[in-house]
Structure 1
Amino acid sequence: MQIIRRKAALRAFTQAWRRAGGTIGVVPTMGALHAGHLSLVEAARAGTDHVIVTLFVNPRQFNNPEDLAKYPRTEESDAEKLAPFGVDVLYIPEPEEIYPGGFATNVSVSGVSDGLCGATRPGHFDGVATVVTKLLLQTDADRAFFGEKDYQQLQVVKRLATDLDLKTEIVGCPTVREGDGLAMSSRNLRLGIGPRETAPVIARVLTGAADIIARGGNVLKALDTASEALLAAGFDSIDYLELRSDPDLQLMTKADRPARLFLAAWLDGVRLIDNLPVSAPRKVETSEDQPLESA
């Protein structure tokens, strides 16, 4: 695995791969790699001839300077984790490779970026869209792999790739979870021992709410009950807990088409996000001797 910090050096590799007829996959990351990231690398390895993993802590997608300062930088251990996975290049661009002097361009995606994290983190998805566009162009990728845990981000990236006629296919990969159900995230490392034991409540509460909705239960009541359960378990606050259509992310009060539950909640000073698909309500078979119970 080659570690490269300059786009000119990166292009020497990608151009050689192109001349040989190879395909290129990229896994964009901000480092602090865990099994979720590595599952994306495995998907890229299986789906393309050459794999680039990028590592760049993008300042433009942080609303809070303290959050940016606290974000873990673990370049050496990240390289060690990637070593067994057949990665061709670990691209760790210097800041000026992404944002050179005088940089004045912003990529903004409307629609799917509205609401959810777009509402609570103003400018966040502009930062994501801008850096991802840069990385897709610099790596010349045929396919880019993103996790479904950041599902709104996935839809933003799909939209920009379509709208800007980028050749890169955006591939969504399933959320990877800890054994207790908590969605893997670099932010989990910042949880204290007690809060870490509380955090898996997220998956249990979302699963319960999704099941109620899928059985035709009242959406708003299910969301209220889920919010109460999270706060009772010790969560500090909830940014949002909503049902949204999939994939256009329109707010829903009834699961009459493909949908997902989305959550962002604060625990021990750490903002945790998760989402789950919700199937359409199932019809209940009735007969004269098995009447529907009244609501």
Structure 2
Amino acid sequence: MRVVHSPLELKKLLKEEQGTIGFVPTMGALHLGHRSLIEAAREANDLVVVSIFVNPTQFLEGEDLDAYPRREEADKKVCELSGVDYLFYPDASEMYGEDEVSLNAPSVRGYIMEGNSRPGHFSGVLTVVNKLFNIVNPTRAYFGKKDAQQLMLIETMVANLFMNVEIVPMATLREKDGLAMSSRNVYLSEQEREEALKIIKSLRTATQMVMKNELHVSRIREEMLAILAPLDVEYVTIVNRSFEPIEHVEIGNTIILVEAISGTTRLLDNIWI
């Protein structure tokens, strides 16, 4: 495995390679969810590139940029054991300059749900993903479905900008207790983690309601909110896969999404129906 820090060096090295490139962009603190993305990339491509970059432009003022978990040596070992060919570890000073071009998230779908509570967050996400795609020039890029709004916006960017990369969505992996795997789970105290399990409980209840032919979005949402109390709920939203609001669940075309805060930790989860 080769560790590269310079964007221009990585770009040059990959131009000299042959075959398909599978790319897994991450912010580090790698867990089994990340490993599932890497394994999928390994199976389908000739080369695997993983980036680890805690992107400052997607953090709002007062958020956990400085405290975001960083485990450089452990992450390197995970990548090495997972068969990664290139590990890209850039510094912010090489990824960003002054007065530079950036991307704006869509004015509607980039500012609903998580974008409503974190205005500008998705502009930062799309800007850095665009930069990473331009550096790596991947054949396929792998993203988890847990960050469903992010996934949708990246797919939109790729389509709108006619980018030559296949986006591969991957299923959410969960801890044994059902909590969606996330680098931020390490922030949770034992009590906060117990409270956080209300998120998956609410999503499973929603699924059971749909299986019993309860398709009214308002009734499902009301039941979920009752389960989630007293968590600080940012939103419970039920949309189609284009992220348009719906009044009734459409089997095969619906995502039920939750964002809630346990203690001081923001948690996202969803279920695709």
TM-score, structure 2 normalization = 0.94
The verdict on how the C-alpha distance between 1:65 and 1:146 changes in structure 2, with shifts beyond 3 A counting, is same
Deviations, residues 52-76 of structure 1 (Å, cap 9, x unaligned) = 1001111111123342122112111
Deviation track 1:191-230 (CA, whole Å, cap 9, x = no partner) reads 0011112322211211111221343323212211211111
Please give the alpha-carbon distance, in whole angstroms, between the structure 2 residues aligned to 1:33 and 1:82.
9
Which stretch of structure 1 is more off in the superposition, 102-111 or 168-177? 102-111
Aligned partner of 1:86 in structure 2 is 83
Of 106-115 and 142-151, the range deviating more from structure 2:
106-115
Amino acid at match of 2:163: L
Tell me, in whole angstroms, the C-alpha distance in 1 between the residues paired with 2:5 and 2:192. 37
Task: Report if aligned partners of 2:126, 2:157 keep a CA contact under 8 Å in 1.
Answer: yes
In structure 1, runs of 5+ residues without a counterpart are: 279-295
Question: Residue 221 of structure 2 contacts residue 236 of structure 2 at CA under 8 Å; is this kept in 1?
Answer: yes
User: Deviations along 1:71-95, whole A, 9 cap, x unmatched?
Assistant: 1121111111111111011101121
Residue 203 of structure 2 corresponds to which residue in structure 1? Answer: 206
Match of 2:28 in 1: 31
Deviation digits for residues 105-144 of structure 1, max 9, x if unmatched? 2343344324111111100110111000000010111110
Whose Rg is larger?
1
SS in 1 for 2:66: helix
Identical positions, percent: 37
Q: How many residues align?
A: 271
Which of these residues, 178, 189, 193, is aligned with residue 190 of structure 2?
A: 193
Q: Which runs of 4+ in 1 moved over 4 A?
A: none
The TM-score, its normalising length taken from structure 1, stands at 0.88
Letter of the 1:13 partner, please give it.
L
Aligned equivalents of 1:177, 1:99: Cα separation in 2: 34
Q: Is the 8 A contact 1:242 1:262 kept in 2?
A: yes
Q: Distance in 1 between matches of 2:207 and 2:110?
A: 23
Q: 2:125 aligns with which of 118, 125, 128?
A: 128
2: CA distance between counterparts of 1:108 and 1:228? 32
Q: Please, what is the CA RMSD of the aligned residues?
A: 1.5
For 1:239, what is the secondary structure of its paired residue?
Answer: strand
Letter in 2 for 1:36: G
Q: Which secondary structure state, in structure 2, belongs to the residue aligned with residue 149 of structure 1?
A: coil
Distance, in Å, in 2 between the alignment partners of 1:66 and 1:175 is 24
| Counterpart Cα distance in 2 of 1:256 and 1:146 | 24
Instruction: Specify the alignment match of 2:269 in structure 1.
Output: 274
